[in-house]
């Protein structure tokens, strides 16, 4: 190639899911079906009444047009009502920008808050797309270390020691990808108070907020009358309604913050597709029961996975787990997570992600997205871990 590419992009590693899926081509065929614990995607279809409703809208020429950058007012209004039920929040449509997944909402949050050279404190292990985005933008990712004792729950005291005059935000993902850890509302409140006291933002990624057992309220931060001075939420209906390909995200922040973020929205995406907006409006108006049923199903998967995985005889150790994910320590000493994940593909027909893609020093771990597989496949998945851990170094 003769043209020069930006070192900020060439220096970033290949997206991890792309990397591990490449290993499949070299996998010896031992007749066993692959168990895919790699990408966090609900394994079930969207609600049939939702897709039937959307099919009826496709012929309307309006469905193919742009919408306002922030999304249709009636959709944002319906989403406000949902936030009232879910968070006890009294938000206005001006607090929302509908985005191309939570992924784009994160970019909007970051470009609105930070310039190159600034710092963002990120709880490790971190969802890999976040550090990748920061690196591309020339923003320093400062990791708050993972503690097994805390089972992945952030420590406000540890985070405070990392704040400098370049820090613009603390980033927490709850429920966490990759640990599944659900940060308790009290800890989120402490992080909010800390961020407020130090004049920085608390960015909370709540992509998995509908997979908290019994639909418990994730936090009450939106009830604070000054929430918008400090708090920025990145969220998605992608997992909630099994619509990951629709790119159904949103940024939730003060009306002023959103008005600034819309400058970036206009140049990045213009708007979320209308068909996605219609899907979201249908979902928030009709699917609370459907969502609760799937949450219960995911909790059963978690409980079964956990119960089988921690039984004696498995040298893989569960370090943390929760909604969708298990974060496990592998038993192979100094082997990297990559080496072990590759062995799992070749010798156990299991696809997982190596720990080190979630932050430095995490080579001893793997992420398993058990939310991808049906309850009936969980015993076989756990058996393969047990078998691989017997008599091997
Ligand atoms: C923590 C977290 N944030 C954001 C995303 C991206 O979500 P979306 O598909 O809505 O862009 C994911 C996807 O797996 C995720 O795990």
Rounded Cα–Cα distance for residues 378 and 311 (Å): 14
Q: Which CATH number fits domain 48-286: 1.10.287.1080, 1.20.120.400, 3.40.50.720, 3.40.640.10?
A: 3.40.640.10
Query: What's the whole-number mean pLDDT along residues 247-270?
Result: 98
Q: Each residue of 136-178: pLDDT tens digit? A: 999 999 999 999 999 999 999 999 999 999 999 999 999 999 9
**Which residues in the chain are classed under CATH 3.40.640.10?**
48-286
First-last CA distance in the chain: 43
**Which architecture, in CATH terms, is 12-41+290-389?**
Alpha-Beta Complex (3.90)
Q: pLDDT-based confidence at 371, cuts 50/70/90?
A: confident
- CB of 97 within 8 A of CB of 71? yes
Mutational pocket test of ligand 1: of 101, 204, 327, the residue with most ligand atoms within 8 Å of the beta carbon: 101
Strand partners, 354: 366
Mutational pocket test of ligand 1: of 102, 110, 176, 234, the residue with most ligand atoms within 8 Å of the beta carbon: 102
- CB of 35 within 8 A of CB of 350? yes
Mutational pocket test of ligand 1: of 236, 252, 369, the residue with most ligand atoms within 8 Å of the beta carbon: 236
The residue with tokens 């060439």 is 10
Residue 327's SS3 state is strand
The residue with tokens 């070192």 is 7
pTM of the model: 0.96
Rounded Cα–Cα distance for residues 119 and 141 (Å): 6
Query: What's the whole-number mean pLDDT along residues 26-32?
Result: 84
How many whole angstroms from 103 Cα to the centroid of ligand 1? 6
Rounded Cα–Cα distance for residues 331 and 364 (Å): 8
pLDDT at 161: 98
Sheet holding 365-368, edge to edge: 317-321, 326-329, 365-368, 353-354
Quick one: CA dihedral 132, 133, 134, 135, positive or negative? Answer: positive
Quick one: CA dihedral 116, 117, 119, 125, positive or negative? Answer: positive
Rounded Cα–Cα distance for residues 83 and 7 (Å): 41
Give, using CA atoms, the residue closest to atom 12 of ligand 1.
207
Give, using CA atoms, the residue closest to atom 10 of ligand 1.
101
Provide the 10 A C-beta neighbour count for residue 338.
Answer: 19
**Which residues in the chain are classed under CATH 3.90.1150.10?**
12-41+290-389
Q: Each residue of 79-108: pLDDT tens digit? A: 999 999 999 999 999 999 999 999 999 999
């Amino acid at each position: 190639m003769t043209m020069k590419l930006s070192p900020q992009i060439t220096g970033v590693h290949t997206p991890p899911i792309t990397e591990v899926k490449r290993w499949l081509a070299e996998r010896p065929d031992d007749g066993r079906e692959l168990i895919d614990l790699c990408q966090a995607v609900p394994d079930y279809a969207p609600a049939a009444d939702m897709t039937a409703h959307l099919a009826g809208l496709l012929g309307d020429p309006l469905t193919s047009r742009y919408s306002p950058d922030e999304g249709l007012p009636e959709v944002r209004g319906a989403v406000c009502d949902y936030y009232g039920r879910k968070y006890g929040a009294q938000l206005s449509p001006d607090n929302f920008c509908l985005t191309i997944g939570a992924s784009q909402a994160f970019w909007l949050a970051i470009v609105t808050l930070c310039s190159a050279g600034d710092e963002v404190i990120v709880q490790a292990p971190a969802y890999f797309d976040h550090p990748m985005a920061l690196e591309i933008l020339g923003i320093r990712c400062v990791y708050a270390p993972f503690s097994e004792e805390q089972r992945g729950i952030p420590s406000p005291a540890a985070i405070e020691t990392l704040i400098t005059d370049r820090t613009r935000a603390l980033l927490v993902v709850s429920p966490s990808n990759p640990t599944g850890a659900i940060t308790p509302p009290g800890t989120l409140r402490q992080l909010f108070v800390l961020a407020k006291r130090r004049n920085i933002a608390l960015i909370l990624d709540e992509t998995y907020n509908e997979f908290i057992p019994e639909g418990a309220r994730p936090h009450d931060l939106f009830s604070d009358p000054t929430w918008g001075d400090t708090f920025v939420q990145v969220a998605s209906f992608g997992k909630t309604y099994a619509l990951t390909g629709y790119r159904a995200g949103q940024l939730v922040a003060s009306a002023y913050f959103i008005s600034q973020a819309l400058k970036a929205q206009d140049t990045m995406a213009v708007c979320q597709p209308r068909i996605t907006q219609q899907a979201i409006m249908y979902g928030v108006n009709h699917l609370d029961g459907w969502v609760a049923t799937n949450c219960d199903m995911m909790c059963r998967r978690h409980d079964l996975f956990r119960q089988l995985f921690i039984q004696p005889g498995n040298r893989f150790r569960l370090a943390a787990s929760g909604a969708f994910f298990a974060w496990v320590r592998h038993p192979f000493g100094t082997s990297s997570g990559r080496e072990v994940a590759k062995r799992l593909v070749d010798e156990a027909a299991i696809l997982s992600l190596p720990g080190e893609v979630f932050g430095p020093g995490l080579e001893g771990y793997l992420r398993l997205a058990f939310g991808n597989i049906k309850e009936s496949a969980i015993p076989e998945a756990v058996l393969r871990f047990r078998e691989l851990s017997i008599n091997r170094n």
